[in-house]
Amino acid sequence: QLRLVQSGGGSAQAGGSLRLSCTISIISTTRYTRFCMGWFRQAPGKEREGVAAINSDADSTSYAASVKGRFTVSLDNAKNTLYLEMNSLQPEDSAMYYCAVRLGGWRPPPLEVDEYTYWGQGTPVTVPV
């Protein structure tokens, strides 16, 4: 029903910044009028974890403790695009980052992987030691 296409990411020095984008296309109609959209990451050998999430009304956000104050999730509904602004990057932020959509709104939006149905293709973020 939904297609998510990611862009951005890459490599940055410690202390630097990167921005991820995720454009969401509706392939087929859905009865849901509200959604949650999130960013997740998975480092080699580790489980996928929630990083940040926002609801489709853009009035509620959630952040993992490890990124709070450094990362900002935002949504441009006119462009159907989700963003993750990452500042003060650290080597431990290195991972494959994924965007995802959960059908149905929730406040605050969840960070649990199992809550999300549609996923982007992933984009790598590397912060060298």
Per-residue pLDDT 10s for the chain (129 aa) are 899 999 998 999 999 999 999 999 986 666 777 899 999 999 999 999 999 999 998 899 999 999 999 999 999 989 999 999 999 999 999 999 999 999 988 889 999 999 999 999 999 999 999
Residue type present at position 51: V
Q: Which residues contact 113 (CB under 8 A, 6 or more apart)?
A: 40, 47, 48, 49, 50, 100
